Amino acid sequence: MKRRDFVNWVGLGWIASSLPVAIAACSPQKTTSQDWQSVGNVAELDKNGQLLAENSPVGAVLVVGTSKAANLVAVNPTCTHKGCTVAWKPQAQKFVCPCHGAEYGIDGKVQKDPATKPLTNYAVKIEGSSVLVKQV
Ligand code: FES
């Protein structure tokens, strides 16, 4: 084998063996909708008693409560009737749809027609100054 052939052969082998490592290193870190996702900050949640993130990585999220509340609640605020965004009514402790009047309890269960399916719930927690949700 000539020296030039040997160098080419070794060089090609090195490139071929390094390629998978280089591809893996350059690939973006995968985050799935199954992971905890930030949907806003604690200051905004505490100021309003609710936090709406319409385009979070897990979809639309409405968090209800404050950082000092014992149990925060997070739901997908998309009404299961025809898809309007429900609003949280703190005095009544329910989600109300402005389109056709469906009502949901704080647990997302239907309390009043015309909706028949519950709102989707998320797990929610506070970490530092961020409000995080995760699909359950
Ligand atoms: S879209 Fe909500 S009640 Fe019809």
Is the domain of 41 the same as that of 26?
no
Q: Is the CB–ligand 1 distance for residue 112 below 6 Å?
A: no
Ligand 1: centre distance to CA 77 (Å): 11
Is the domain of 16 the same as that of 47?
no
The total domain count for the chain is: 2
Looking at residue 112, which CATH number applies to its domain? 2.102.10.10
Sign of the CA dihedral 93, 65, 51, 135? negative
Q: How far is CA 12 from CA 2, 8, 17, 20, in A?
A: 15, 6, 9, 14
Question: Of 110, 120, 48, whose CA–CA distance to 101 is shortest?
Answer: 110
pTM attached to this predicted model: 0.74
Q: In what order do the strands lie in the sheet with 94-96?
A: 87-89, 94-96, 103-105, 110-112
Is the domain of 25 the same as that of 50?
no
- HEC secondary structure over 56-109: ECCEEEEEECCCCCCCCEEECCECCCCCCECEEECCCCEEECCCCCCEEECCCC
Question: Cβ(103)–Cβ(94) under 8 Å?
Answer: yes
Tokens 């591809």, located at residue: 23
Is the domain of 71 the same as that of 130?
yes
Is the domain of 125 the same as that of 106?
yes
Is the domain of 15 the same as that of 81?
no
Is the domain of 53 the same as that of 21?
no
Each residue's pLDDT tens digit, 3-14: 666 556 655 555
Which residue among 75, 96, 99, 116 is best mutated to probe the pocket of ligand 1, counting the most ligand atoms within 8 A of its Cβ?
A: 99
Is the domain of 77 the same as that of 94?
yes
Each residue's pLDDT tens digit, 90-106: 999 999 999 999 999 99
Q: Is the CB–ligand 1 distance for residue 84 below 6 Å?
A: yes
How large is the average pLDDT for residues 99-117?
Answer: 97
Q: Is the CB–ligand 1 distance for residue 118 below 6 Å?
A: no
Is the domain of 55 the same as that of 4?
no
Ligand 1: centre distance to CA 122 (Å): 21
Ligand 1: centre distance to CA 100 (Å): 5
- Residue 1 structural domain: 1-30
Each residue's pLDDT tens digit, 56-79: 888 999 999 988 877 899 999 999
What is the end-to-end Cα distance of the chain in Å, rounded?
A: 62
